[in-house]
Amino acid sequence: MKTIKNLEWNEIIKRIDSLKICDKEKQKIKKEIYRQEMTKLRKARKKQSIKDYESIAKIGRGAFGEVHVCREKKTDKIYAIKKIKKNILILKNQIIHILNEQKFMSRAKSPWIVELKASFQEDE
């Protein structure tokens, strides 16, 4: 089964091949389109960071960290972000607890449980 991307790429190749230019020029065009697509995909895979968000307000504080209402800079969407200090988790031997919470929130399908949209970590 072909993916949509494969079908799009095949259509682009057909159009380039139908141009009345030499094969060398066709290859240059194909390489440039491929390079642009790879650059776009690489940017899409860029790791998320706390720097991608602007904190609006702190709404909670707990034993391991804080919860902030944040705005994603790229999309202006509003999210709650739970910031947890790694060193405290390690000291209190709670890493498994947090990993289980992350797994649970990513799989839960309930209006009563907050949906985990993303998870990322930084040095601290």
Could you tell me the CATH superfamily of domain 50-107? Phosphorylase Kinase; domain 1 (3.30.200.20)
The domain limits of the chain are 4-44, 50-107
Give the dihedral of Cα atoms 122, 90, 97, 51; nearest 10 deg: -10
Among candidates 37, 44, 29, which has minimal Cα distance to 5? Answer: 37
Decide: pTM greater than 0.75. no
Model pLDDT, residue 28: 92
Distance CA 5, CA 74 (A): 25
Distance CA 19, CA 31 (A): 15
Model pLDDT, residue 1: 45
Tens-of-pLDDT digits for all 124 residues of the chain?
456 577 788 888 899 999 999 999 989 998 998 888 888 877 777 788 889 999 999 999 988 889 999 999 999 999 999 999 888 888 889 989 999 999 999 898 899 988 898 888 887 7
Model pLDDT, residue 4: 53
